[in-house]
Structure 1
Amino acid sequence: MNRLSFEPGENCWRVASAERFALIVDGADYFRALRETLFMADRLITLVGWDFDFEIEMLPGESDDEGNAPDGFPNQIGPFLEALVDRRPELEIYLLKWSGGALIAPGRLLPTAHIKLLSPDQVHLGFDGRHPIGACHHQKIVVVDDSLAFCGGIDVTDGRWDQRDHAPNNPLRHLKNGEIAQPWHDATTVISGDAAAELGKLCRMRWARAQDSEMDEPFTPGMDRWPDSIEPDFRNIDIAISRTEPPGKNHPPITEIEALYLESIAAAQDYIYLESQYFSSDEIASAIAQRLQEPDGPEVIVINPVAAQVMLEDEAMHVTRSRFIRHLAAHDPHGRFRILYPSDSANGGIYVHAKITIFDDCFLRVGSSNIDRRSLGFDTECDVALLADSEEDRRTIRGMRDSLIAEHLGREKDEVGQEIERRDSIIAAIDALNRPTGKGLRPIHPRKETFLGSLLADTRFFDPRYRSSAAARLGLTSRHVMYGAAAALAVGAIWWSRSRRR
């Protein structure tokens, strides 16, 4: 059996020690910890994200009549950041957002323009369009004073806040339009020490690539910025940082994350537990099929949402998933594969946005990458991972696994752990603890294919992988598309203005 190790340049970019490391599950705990950490910042805050919504409340339900949180500062993220630099003039804040977000969420243009044009000079908003056409910047990283970092799957945007019980119709989970958002399961990590400093360097590289200029801020890691609300899971443990990046002028595609996925699947002996928004990677499905055919291979449990949020995306991504489910069922002679979705207490689906891998109580990976072709060979992603050597650290990873499964089943963590140990099988334990209705894990069945779904799945229109023949190699990027769109809007505005004066 293969033994997994972290190899910089192969399955990771850097390996560095984390003084402290914790897994944060779901948005309520994340946004509280993020606020605490940002409040402590002295010199530099860097947020790198797929999207930012500057109007969201970080602590829903805790605002006073003036819109302030209990700490006395504005609850909304945009005014909160402005208040931080007003309080501490030496603080600089850099926000790097995917340029294509304006097309996906045009309603956020005005708040974004306010941050760009009207915020204090210490707040720097940049847009990242240095990608092949169709690719996106998908990393979700926050670094404070080069000393503490959050890295995972939670975007600082609308609809990401939720509590671990995922109660249906929770009024605190309201969107800006007043609607109640669907339950949302997500995860990230918080890291201090040298590993956080390396993530700070990565963010500086991303800024320089997107903006053609350096941050020009001193690099002074080593400060204590750990949030009080989070208890560390690990201390003094090595962390691997892995990336996906499309090719640039001076480098080939970076596929460290895919290599780490494939090597971890090959190394697992007892079980592989995966949470992901999608399940549409040919390479991952083939690697799992190979392990399922082994007489003594691992159990494989995949947690997905039952459906995508948008109909077109659902047709594109989950027809492919259905094909893989059929393929794996045909190559699973020992019955060791399950793909499931979590339901809430009202039998509604909980949307899974977390990107987590755990195997054999010894490996944990959390990040921005999904199990799809985009994340493994087209978009820009960042994951972090660790290997547990000591029995204490293995016990911690086992507890994380049990806690995640317990959240989905509506059970206690210890109850799940005891059932898995008693049955020597995660699948058997889930079957035993699953309730027939309400909170629980439900099987995802293959769907019948529609014409549109088959077309989108066959072409991989929404799930491409970079090819050397792509138009991007001619130098066209998403940034050029955005420049063109902006120019067209400007010309249209001038024409409209002149026509009204005639």
Structure 2
Amino acid sequence: MPRSSQPGPDDLDGLPNVDEEGETAPDIDPAPDIDVPGVDEDEDPATRIWFLTPSERGNPSSTIDRIPRDDGRGWVAGNQVRPLVHGANYFRRLYEELTALRRGDRLYFTDWRGDRDEKLLEDGPTIGEVLTGLARDGVDVRGLLWRSHSDSFAFSAQQNQRLGTEINLAGGEVLLDQRVRRFGAHHQKLFVIRHQGEPERDVAFVGGIDLCYSRRDDAEHRGDPQQAPMDKRYQGRAPWHDAALELRGPIVGDLLRTFIERWDDPTPLDRRTPYRMLIQRRAHMPRHPRKLPETFPDPQPSGRHAVQLLRTYGAKRPRYPFAENGERSVARAYEKAFKQAQSLIYVEDQYLWSRVVAEGIADALRRAPELRVIAVVPRYPDQNNPPNRLGQLDAIKTLKEAAPERFAVYDLENPQGVPIYVHAKICVVDDVWMTCGSDNFNRRSWTNDSELTCAVLDPEHDPREPTALGARRLPRDLRLSLWAEHLGVPEDDPRLLDPVTAFDLWKSTARALDDWHAQGQTGERPKGHARQHDPEPIGRLARLWATPVYRMIYDPDDRPRRLRPKVKF
């Protein structure tokens, strides 16, 4: 089936393709007429259709695309990528890799929030115990935690400070990093594990799972016993759905360079106010990091997967040395992928906020008559208030107006009827291109906060019908495993393979569970977790005050004002 090269709407094109100084970046063409230098057609021609070229990334300041490569690409082939669905699986793998480290090995991590007493396994140890133990044993432990706003505003400044201080006293170096736009956040979640003299053992983890309360749940969705504050309808122990990627191969080197770029930023870590100076001094936190040791060589190829790193950095003053005008490659990559979509866009996201984000999917629905779009979101925001709901209501309205019969949005509940909080950030397009990372589908993640996401292509074609869609093994396997869990069917259920048939299966499964609840839960509970998502409406008066709060605080837009689309968000 041919890929369309029609441009998207002006408002979405304006989001990724213009830098802070007003310079127009190269247009993103879904099927370039010129070859990307060095691409080997025998490897996977899909890479030049789906991945961003270095010029399309739009950030010449970064070291990522300036690394000399034999092929000259803006992505890395020869990796092994393993999806880790559920926080319990991720924490278990992280525990296994961390406890295998020895003196002279190195560990680098970033996070939005870290609770030092969050357990990695059911019976422990805690993340704080593991990381401090490694630092005492001679492992070089370096970390960047978002400095965060105060706990009084439902953030995590104290938790991050406690974890960082504990590791620093043990001999590591974990810093509280506030080098973001005002009211912005460092939202990247990254672990890079390097082994001295054994690069074949090096591994990295990227995804949406923080080192904090609520995240350690499994497929049974009974919730993490250690809980962060949530909306009361999650009943005190919120079931949690999340995901991350385990990566091996040369992409580990690019992930480490992402960490190093932030670490080596000469801007002071925190704003110099008397209050912050006192807090930093009491926590033994420096304003500048120590120099990192010389890095180990990048790992050699270890698999078949091609991976491209996608990031967001806001355009701020003082500038990031590695993103002088910011970086919006997350937004640009989604724009390019949505222009390729012919059969399926599947999204799991914490928010699905903002009309400008939804418009790219809406344009794909209008362009491709066979396209189906399914989104899975939480039933309620973690903190339920009008600004938290406003962006999603407008995004859903935009998508339903584009193709009401081919777009559907669902939420999930566990067998006890408790809503499952969907924190995963996953996207699968046509069972070919997939992403997993820290970014959400909102303006904040696409323009303002620091984010880190991996786009993945598997060159292995999937032999299961329908094959005409060009499905690849890894993204299709991931989608089938997620849908099997959400719909309560086996992964080899043939109805899951075809997007049209599966779209109808989602609808009938959710309707059966909705009807069971409406009829007083009489009889056997229907299988599956899926229910039709019906967000709470917002009254006219509430919109008057919620709209400016949403636009300025909850979901800010970091693009220059003169370049923003003139539409109502």
Q: Provide the residue aligned with 1:46 in structure 2.
A: 108
TM-score relative to the length of structure 1? 0.80
1:30 pairs with 71, 74, 90, which one? Answer: 90
8 Å CA contact 2:372–2:499 kept in 1: the answer is: no
Counterpart Cα distance in 2 of 1:433 and 1:413 = 15
Instruction: Tell me what 2:146 maps to.
Output: 98
* Partner-residue secondary structure (3-state), 2:264: helix
Q: 1:160 aligns with which of 206, 215, 223?
A: 215
2: distance between equivalents of 1:107 and 1:327? 34
Counterpart secondary structure, 1:351: strand
Matched letter for residue 191 of structure 1: L
- Residues 424-473 of structure 1: per-residue CA shift (max 9 Å, x gap): 43311223444425642112225321333552234513110115479xxx
- Counterpart-to-counterpart distance in 1, 2:145 and 2:499: 47
2:456 is matched with 386
User: 1:142: which partner in 2?
Assistant: 191
Partners of 1:107 and 1:135 in 2: how far apart? 14
Does the Cα contact within 8 Å between 2:148 and 2:156 map onto a contact in 1? no
1:36 CA displacement: 0.9
Letter of the structure 2 residue corresponding to residue 310 of structure 1: Q
**Alignment of structure 1 residues 219-230 onto 2, 5 Å:** 219-221=295-297
Deviation at 1:102, TM superposition (A): 4.1
CA positional deviation for 1:132: 1.2
Residue 440 of structure 1 corresponds to which residue in structure 2? 529
1:307 to 380, 388, 392: 380
Equivalent position SS for 1:350: strand
CA contact (8 A) 1:323 1:446 kept: no
Contact 1:377–1:466 (8 Å) recurs in 2: yes
2:244 corresponds to 1:188: yes
Structure 1 partner of 2:198: none
Letter in 1 for 2:293: E
Any residues of structure 2 matched to 1:234-253 within 5 Å, and which?
Answer: 235-248=303-316, 249-250=318-319, 251-253=324-326
Q: Which aligned pairs between 1:269-280 and structure 2 lie closer than 5 A? A: 269-280=342-353
The residue that corresponds to 2:22 in the other structure is none
Distance 1:213 1:174 in 2: 32
1:324 aligns with 2:395: yes
Question: Which residue number in structure 1 is paired with residue 363 of structure 2?
Answer: 290
1:355 aligns with 2:401: no
State the Cα distance separating 1:243 from its structure 2 match.
0.5
Percent identical among aligned pairs is 24
1:486 maps to which residue?
none
Give the structure 1 partner of residue 479 of structure 2: 401
Partner of 2:258: 202
3-state DSSP class of the match of 2:294?
coil
The one-letter code matched in structure 2 to 1:196 is V
Query: More deviation in 460-469 or 135-144?
Result: 460-469
CA contact (8 A) 1:361 1:394 kept: yes
Give the aligned CA root-mean-square deviation in angstroms: 2.8
Q: Distance in 2 between matches of 1:111 and 1:247?
A: 25
In 1, are the aligned partners of 2:119 and 2:127 still within 8 Å (CA)?
Answer: yes
* Higher alpha-carbon deviation: 105-114 or 427-436: 105-114
User: Does the 8 A contact of 1:11 with 1:258 survive in 2?
Assistant: no
Alpha-carbon deviation of 1:297?
Answer: 4.0
Candidates 10, 16, 36, aligned match of 2:76: 16
CA distance in 1 between counterparts of 2:335 and 2:128 reads 40
Q: State the alpha-carbon separation in 2 of the partners of residues 152 and 340 from structure 1.
A: 22
Contact 1:317 1:457 in 2 (8 A): no
Match of 1:7 in 2: 53
Correspondence for 2:283: none
Q: Which moved more, 1:211-220 or 1:130-139?
A: 211-220
1:330 CA displacement:
2.2
Q: Distance in 1 between matches of 2:113 and 2:167?
A: 19
Structure 1 stretches of 5 or more lacking a match? 64-74, 225-233, 471-502
Q: Which residue identity lines up with residue 397 of structure 1 in the other structure?
A: P
Offset of residue 143 of structure 1: 0.7
Q: How many residues align?
A: 439
Task: Using the TM superposition, name which of 419-428 and 371-380 deviates more.
Answer: 419-428
1:376 counterpart residue number? 446
Cα deviation, residue 420, structure 1:
3.0
C-alpha distance in 1, partners of 2:328/2:289? 25
Classify the secondary structure of the residue corresponding to 1:425. Answer: helix
Residue 482 of structure 2 aligns to a residue in which SS?
A: helix
Q: CA deviation at 1:408?
A: 1.5
Aligned residue number for residue 467 of structure 2: none
- Which amino acid is 2:172 matched to? V
Distance in 2 separating the partners of 1:106 and 1:295? 42
- 1:497 match: none
- Cα distance change of structure 1 residues 57 and 163 upon mapping to structure 2, 3 Å threshold: same
**1:340 equivalenced with 2:410 (yes/no):** yes
Within 2, Cα distance between the matches of 1:376 and 1:110?
26
The separation in 2 between residues aligned to 1:155 and 1:297, in whole angstroms, is 37
- Whole-angstrom CA distance in 2 between matches of 1:80 and 1:423: 43
